[in-house]
Amino acid sequence: MPIAGRFAKTAVPAACVALSALAAAGCVRREIEVTSTPPGALLTLNGREVGRTPARITFTFDGTYDVRLRLAGYESVQGKGTTDMPVWDFIGADLVAEMAPADIHRVERWHFDLVPEEHAEVGLHDRADAARRSIESMPAVAPDAPAPAPTATPERAAQRERSAQRAP
């Protein structure tokens, strides 16, 4: 057997074993840890219920997430959580990080404070009053709005009928 044939028989399997060992050597884990005061709030990320706080969720892509928390007796919380991409997660560096013979574990921590409903009502009334004042300060009719069209009412229909009967 020629030397090239023997080399191919031994080198290719050896390269496959080396590559699979490198691929299995490292691991990158990305998690978001969401906590709340008090704990036990129902957590929704990007419209998907994921559990109750405290919770750990694995994620793949960095960015901004919509966060919602609900707990009986407390005002619901709507907010955003952001994960920032570390330098080792950029294109090219991420391949090295995945192949490195080390476990890389990254945890983004977000905390939310829930407000009891009896305290939330005070804020709710203040927000409602502010909205009412804002609406009342607006003009009743926009200056460049067209005149309103006449509305059809039973009185108007009767008036038209009487006018039609008087006409010769």
Give the chain as a 3 state SS string: CCHHHHHHHHHHHHHHHHHHHHHHHCEEEEEEEEEEECCCCEEEECCEEEEECCEEEECCCCEEEEEEEECCCECCEEEEEEECCCHHHCCCHHHHHHHCCCEEEEEEEEEEECCEHHHHHHHHHHHHHHHHHHHHCCCCCCCCCCCCCCCCCHHHHHHHHHHHHHCC
pLDDT (tens digit per residue) in 115-130: 998 765 666 777 788 8
Over 90: is that where the pLDDT of 48 sits? yes
One-letter amino acid for residue 156 of the chain: R
pLDDT given for residue 6 in this prediction: 55
| Res. 133 pLDDT band, cuts 50 70 90 | confident
List CB contacts of 35: < 8 A, sequence separation 6 or more: 53, 54, 109, 110, 111, 112
pLDDT (tens digit per residue) in 19-28: 555 555 557 7
CATH code for residues 26-120: 2.60.40
Which is higher by pLDDT, 109 or 100? 109
What share of the chain in percent tops pLDDT 90?
Answer: 34
For the chain, the distance separating the N- and C-terminal CA atoms, rounded to the nearest angstrom, is: 119
pTM confidence score: 0.52
Give the number of other Cβ atoms within 10 Å of residue 54's Cβ. Answer: 15
Mean pLDDT of 141-150: 71
What residues does each domain of the chain span? 26-120
At 120, give phi and psi (nearest 5°): -70, -30
pLDDT given for residue 134 in this prediction: 82
| Res. 96 pLDDT band, cuts 50 70 90 | low
Mean pLDDT of 147-162: 76
At 133, give phi and psi (nearest 5°): -65, -40
pLDDT given for residue 127 in this prediction: 79
